[in-house]
Amino acid sequence: MRSIVPVLTVVAGIIAIWYGAAIVMNQQWTRDQAERAGVELQLSDIVVDTLSQERPKLPVPHQVAAELWKTTVEKKITSKRSLIYHGWITLSATLLGFAIGTGAGILLAVGIVHNRAMDMSVMPWAIASQTIPILAIAPMIIVVLNSVGVQGLIPKAIISAYLSFFPVVVGMVKGLRSPDAMQLDLLKTYGANKGQSFWKLRLPSSMPYLFTSLKVGIAASLVGAIVGELPTGAIRGLGARMLSGSYYGQTIQIWSALIAAAVLAALLVGIVGLIQRITLKRMGMTR
Amino acid sequence: MTDPVIKAERLDLTFETNDGPVQALSDVNLTINKGDFVSFIGPSGCGKTTFLRAIAALEKPTGGSITVNGVSPDEARQARAYGYVFQAAGLYPWRTISGNIKLPLEIMGFSKAEQEERVGRVLELVDLAGFGKKFPWQLSGGMQQRASIARALAFDADILLMDEPFGALDEIVRDHLNEQLLELWARTEKTIGFVTHSIPEAVYLSTKIVVMSPRPGRITDVIESTLPKERPLDIRDTPEFLEIAHRVREGLRAGHAYD
């Protein structure tokens, strides 16, 4: 509870800056309008107008909050205007991508740890894959998959997996290598084979590393799913919502989709964190 | 005269390092008989741990020969000839004490019922009965080390190799564990190889003390203890004990004068 005061202070500070910036950024439009209409403006008029424009350069928090309320609580979730509906579209691609990325990441890590050739060859490629801007490669993935008849959820999930497998590979390689020489020697004296060392020692030892990677990975998955919605002209999903908002200058819509994505990311990371806490506690690995 | 359990003849072991070869063991000849309690003592780098690891097939000698129960160390390992205890207990934090003791049994394919039976028996042996359901972090350092000894005993190896098992514990706990170890040795009649830095510990425990010296690692003296098998802690104040300790110290000093 002691941390709540500093947190609220920071939030209040951010909101204050946000309102201030909105007044400064939106006043030009207000002044132009007033000039055209030939009206003299008081400072108070400017402030009131900048905080209630329909298409402001920077929407203020209460406008975004109102839009969020309208598009989540007041709309049916089957509606094309419901953020929950769009959020679910993005979430399903995120979760599928996260599952694929995590699975691929773990398999690659197991290969890297157990096979010298893979150790030498896979890691540089994995690193190289992350240096390519995802925005450049996403349209190609979609076009290529579309040409073989794969559409909809799968291409987005693959882009999402492309971003999330990397932290899992890096974390799992480190985790699977974390048992010290003594632990490995001990298993050797029992005559344990590679499979037994893996299941009984390496895999359990890697859990703290895995969860740290999963937290990064799930956030990356969400980014991947949203990016996957941008270049396709998708009409569903949070990414599509941001894109259509930018086409029509609906800044409030962009911001509310953005906030929705942030809340979703926070929820996902929070859930992974909770599972991490419970699992590591049960494994006696919390310090 | 019983058959030797461990027999090393002109054993050499050289590590290849980035700074060139390092001779860890040179011309080591040693015979350990069944039921012996053999301590290896010497300064750091004298090869005592390396020799123990060579017995356990964790290091490969580069010259000479070594046999365990008449076969190579590798074959002896496959025949589950020895249990190894390291300086750190090395218990898995995600397993209970029972679970940790079961680890070698699971790997070696013992049945569930037999695992339970053995766990109960070795917990009794190391005086930890009733602690099976506890997790390692709930136990003191000394208890953890006892659990790791129980783990090494669980699969009935005849040879127990211990690499400074009590090195990280304080002296009071150490005395207590030394006493218990002697008791355990008397009850199980195992052959024990024990690496230590401590002269009193070596003299108190052993039937045979191997004094080693570094660069290159070699044996400078092998002392057969004349102490009786029954050894209360205060045997350490008897003239006989002090005389053996003195001889060990002389051996260590002679090794140092060498370089």
Residue B41 bridge partners (DSSP)? B196, B211
SS3 of B62, please?
A: coil
Superfamily of domain B80-172+183-191: P-loop containing nucleotide triphosphate hydrolases (3.40.50.300)
Which of B53, B56, B103 is facing A200, going by the closest CB pair?
B103
Are B136 and A182 within 8 A, CB to CB? Answer: no
Q: Give residue B259's pLDDT.
A: 47
Q: Is the dihedral of CA B75, B81, B82, B83 positive or negative?
A: positive
Segment among A167-176, A273-282, B15-24 with least mean pLDDT: B15-24
**What are the C-alpha distances in Å from B257 to residues B211, B214, B244?**
14, 11, 20
Q: Is the pLDDT of residue A10 over 60?
A: yes
Domain boundaries, chain B: 80-172+183-191
- At residue B109, φ and ψ (nearest 5 deg) are 80, 35
Query: Given B77, B86, B137, which is nearest A186 (Cβ)?
Result: B86
Closest by Cα among A124, A158, A122 to A140: A158
Query: Do A81 and A144 meet the contact criterion of CB atoms below 8 Å apart?
Result: no
Quick check: A283 contacting B, CB < 8 Å?
A: yes
pLDDT at B256 (0 to 100): 64
Tell me which residues of chain B have a C-beta less than 8 Å from any C-beta of chain A.
53, 56-58, 77-78, 80, 82-84, 86, 88, 90, 92-94, 103-104, 106-108, 135-137, 155
Is there a contact between B84 and B57 (Cβ–Cβ < 8 Å)?
no
- CA B50 to CA B12: how far, in whole Å? 11
User: Among residues B82, B80, B104, B101, which one has the least CA distance to residue B193?
Assistant: B82
Q: How far apart are CA B28 and CA B114, in angstroms?
A: 40
| pLDDT tens digits along B121-170 | 889 888 888 898 999 989 988 899 889 989 988 888 888 899 988 887 88
> Measured between alpha carbons, how far is A127 from A104 in angstroms, rounded to an integer?
15
Instruction: Give dist(CA A178, CA A203) in Å, integer.
Output: 10
User: Residue with structure tokens 């009794």?
Assistant: B124
- Beta-carbon neighbour count of residue B103 at 10 Å? 22
User: What local confidence, expressed as pLDDT, does residue B8 receive?
Assistant: 83
Residue of B nearest to A279 (CA): B94
User: What is the model's pLDDT at position B111?
Assistant: 92
Tokens matching residue A56: 């402001």
- A245 pLDDT higher than 70: yes
Q: Which amino acid is at A161?
A: A
